[in-house]
Structures are given as structure tokens and as C-alpha cells.
Amino acid sequence: MNESVANRRTEIAHRICDELSECGVKLIASLPDNWISDLIAAIDADDRFTHVPVNREESAIGLCSGAYMGGLGSAAVMGASGFMTVIYAITKINYSYEIPLLTLITLRGAPGDHHKHHVSNGLYLRGVIEAINMPFTIVDTAQGIPQIGRAYRHSRTFSRPTVVALTRDLLR
Amino acid sequence: MRYSDCFQRLAVRRSDQWVITSAGNSGQAWWAATRDSERTFYLDASMSLSTMFASGLALGHPAQRFWAFMGDGAFCMNPGMLMVERSMNLPNLVHFLVSNRAYGATSNAAIPNGADNDYGAIARAIGLERVFAFDSVDALDRGLDAAVSANAPGHTFVVLEVEPFSADEQKLEQPPFDGPEMKYRFGRAFERTSGTEIFGYRL
């Protein structure tokens, strides 16, 4: 990776951190995906956040939902594959109790992702999100980063979860 | 010890703790013992997320104390959560693992390897130091204060060895709240007590 690409990734990561902080996010629970490794590193190094690495994506849903009930702004950060494992938790907690939640995911399986093991996400990720009527925003440029804040605030108005998908073009 | 006897005793010994119950029997038993509709969040059908939910609350409010109940059926679905709890190491949260060796909410179906699972050993192997286990009401009476004392450092894990629900206990009422009502009952009580703003407006 050349220096300019590394610098760009770092800048994007910091801009996302700034956006999350401006929303009032204090707690971030994460599981890694290669595309968000720079973002997670930036979150971990940022004193504005308490970063809790979890070992199962559902745990991030539980943790952030509890944080909301304590008035603590939070976000869950994970890959698309991890997101596909949390549908039960989201429907049981965030829909049943109407608890807001912002989740940032990677838009795996979209054109530009050369990993064949993400084909299933390309085929089914959006369909699953639509099936549970979850407001869904794609951010694929730096200019779109403020959409993260809009999605966070909408989750509070809507009293349900929202998801923002970050693309390879944005992150890599 | 009988599941209901254990929860009746815990209810008597509880003081100012906020309580999160798990899916299934713990919500029924706690509701029967307390009829608490404000300082308890009945997190039905959460399947292993009650302590993560409680951790999110406890993290933001170190001056408040929290108890979270989780059945061993739920625990076995996501034992990795204990590693996250250990890394957070919240001193104001007690994780009660209600070990009945069965999926209590589904007709007491057997848990794989249920008879041999040593939950305390699992917790210690992960690095938890404050690990307690009680298998009788007398033992609970003698040891509970030490287990849940307010100023103990680090995360606390308490194994409650109970009998599966009897046929009569299975008939205990479920907490009668739809999700949004539960959210607002608990949240408004938490706002009043802690001074925190959760919903963005006060009644």
C-alpha cells in the first residue's frame, strides 16, 4: 500500500469518527472486517469513545441497546457477514422494544469486492435489510459521511434501528 | 434449590440494584417474586444478550448497580460474552448465571453436556476472579453479601444451581408488558433516579 492510500484511509477513518462524535456517540462496539480495520484502529485510539471489541456481533447489539437505555450514545461497527448474523437480536430487541440503534457495516459483495466468499452478501444482504424494513443508507464517498449522523438521528426519531453501509470505494 | 425459592430470596436481599432478566424462566420467577415493573427490564427472548444489555447500562453509570440474570441455556449459546465482560470488568454489574441444566422456557429440554458443564471453572479460566456458586438457599444466605457487595473491584459472576421449573412453576405468569411499555417504564424510572436523559423529553 502506498503512502497516499494509507493517508486517505486514515483521513476517512478520522472523518467518520468525527461524525460519530458529533452525534453524541460515546460507546462503540465492534467486530473487524478488513475494510474497516483502519476505522476500528482510529476508534480505538480516539479518547472521545469507549471502544468495546466484542467476539460475536449479537453482543454489539445487546451492548448498544443497553447503552441507549442508560442514555449513552452508541454505535455498532461490523462487517456485512456479521450483520447477517444479528437479525434475530435486532428484531427481538430493537424492534420489539423500539430501541434505537445505529449499525455501520461494510457493503460486501457489491461490485468491486473481489472476494468470492462475499458473493452471498452481494446476493442477499440488501434483501434481508429490506425484509425487516430497516432504513438503509449507502455511503460511498467522503462527501456522504454526514449521512451517518442523519441515520443516527433518524434511529432516535424512528425509535428503531438504522444501518449505514460503507463501500469499498470509501474505505479502501 | 428450587428456582422460585432462589429468586424469592434474591428479591428479599436486593436493595437498589437495577435488574435485567433473560428470556424464559428468570423473567417469570423475578416477576413472581417482585412484581417490579420499573426497576427491572424483562428482556424477553434475548437469547444470551441480557448481560451485554446490562453492560451497556452499567458502563455509563458507575454509581448505579446492576444485576443481570441469564439462564445456562442462553449462556451456552454465547459463552464468549464472558470474555467481553471480563475485558470490560465492570464492578457495578453482577452476572447471575441461573444453572438449571435445561432449556427451561422450552419444556426443560436438555442442554448438551449439561450435567458436566462447570460454569465457574469456565469463568475462572477466562480470567474472572470474583466467581461464586450457590446450590442451596442456606448457602445463598451465607454468601450473597460477599458476592454482591457494592465496592468490590471487578466483574462478578455468580452461579445459581437450581432445579428446573416444576410443572407448577411453568405456569407462573409472564411479565405482562409489551416491549415499548417496558422500555418507557424502565427508562422513565432510570431518568428519575439517575438524572440521565434517555428519550429526549420528560413527561
Query: Nearest C-alpha of chain A: how many angstroms from B80?
Result: 6
- The answer to whether B53 contacts A63, with C-beta atoms less than 8 Å apart, is yes
Hey, is the C-beta of A71 within 8 angstroms of any chain B C-beta?
A: yes
Option in B54, B80, B87 nearest A66 (CB): B54
Residues 116-145 of A with CB under 8 A from B: none
Identify the burial level of B82 via C-beta atoms within 10 angstroms of its C-beta, where 0-12 means exposed, 13-18 middle and 19 or more buried.
buried
Query: Confidence band (pLDDT; 50, 70, 90) for A3?
Result: confident
Counting runs of H as helices and runs of E as strands, what totals does chain A give? 8, 6
**Burial (Cβ within 10 Å: 0-12, 13-18, ≥19) of residue B159:** buried
Looking at residues A1-9, what average pLDDT do you find?
86
Q: Residue B78: closest CA among chain A residues belongs to which residue? A: A56
- Contact (CB<8Å) A66/B47: no
Q: How many angstroms away from the CA of A30 is the closest CA of chain B?
A: 11
- pLDDT, tens only, B83-111: 999 999 999 999 999 999 999 888 899 99
- In chain B, domain spans: 3-194
Residue B153 CB burial class (10 angstroms; 0-12, 13-18, ≥19):
exposed
B52–A62 C-beta distance less than 8 A: yes
Ordered alpha helix ranges (H), chain B: 3-13, 25-34, 50-60, 72-77, 81-88, 119-126, 137-148, 167-170, 179-194
- At residue B38, φ and ψ (nearest 5 deg) are -130, -40
State the average pLDDT over residues B108-130.
95
Q: Is the pLDDT of residue B150 over 80?
A: no
Chain A residues touching B194 at Cβ < 8 A: 70-71
- Residue B151, pLDDT > 80, answer no
* A69 neighbourhood in chain B, CB within 8 Å: 41, 53, 56-57, 183, 186-187, 190, 198
Grid cell of A139 as nine digits:
455511503
User: Is the CB of residue B70 less than 8 Å from the CB of residue B50?
Assistant: yes
> Which letter, b or e, does each residue of B7-44 get, where b requires 16 or more Cβ atoms within 10 Å of its Cβ?
bbbbbeebeebbbbbbbbbbbbbbbbbbebbbbbbbbb
Rounded average pLDDT over A153-160:
96
The grid coordinates listed for A82 are: 456479521
Angle at the Cα of B73 from the Cα atoms of B72 and B79, rounded to 5 degrees: 70
**Residues on chain B touching A89 (C-beta within 8 angstroms):** 46-47, 49
β-pairing, B109-110 vs B102-103, is antiparallel
Class of the CATH-defined domain A3-171: alpha beta
Q: Who among B84, B186, B190 is closest to A59 (CB)?
A: B84
pLDDT-derived band of residue A2, with 50, 70 and 90 as boundaries?
confident
* pLDDT computed for residue B202 by the predictor: 63
Residue in A63, A89, A96 nearest the CB of B56: A63
| Structure confidence by residue, pLDDT tens digits, A9-68 | 999 999 999 999 999 999 999 999 999 999 999 999 999 999 999 999 999 999 999 999
Q: What is the pLDDT of residues B22-71, one digit of tens each?
A: 988 999 999 999 999 999 999 987 788 999 999 999 999 999 999 999 99
Q: Report the distance separating Cα B55 and Cα A67, nearest Å.
A: 8
Average pLDDT of the segment spanning A96-110: 96
Please say whether the beta carbons of A86 and A140 come within 8 A: no
Instruction: Give the model's pLDDT for residue A119.
Output: 87
Q: How confident is the model at residue B131 (pLDDT cuts 50, 70, 90)?
A: very high
Q: Percent of chain A beyond pLDDT 70? A: 99
> How would you write A80-123 as a 3-class SS string?
HHHHHCCHHHHHHHHHCCCCCEEEEEECCCCCCCCCHHHHHHHH
In this prediction, residue A84 has a pLDDT band, given cuts at 50, 70 and 90, of very high
CB contact under 8 A, A96 and B179: yes
For domain B3-194, give its CATH number from 1.10.3720.10, 3.20.20.80, 3.40.50.970, 3.30.1020.10: 3.40.50.970
Tell me the nearest-neighbour CA distance from A25 into chain B, angstroms. 12
Q: How far is B137 from chain A (nearest CA, A)?
A: 31
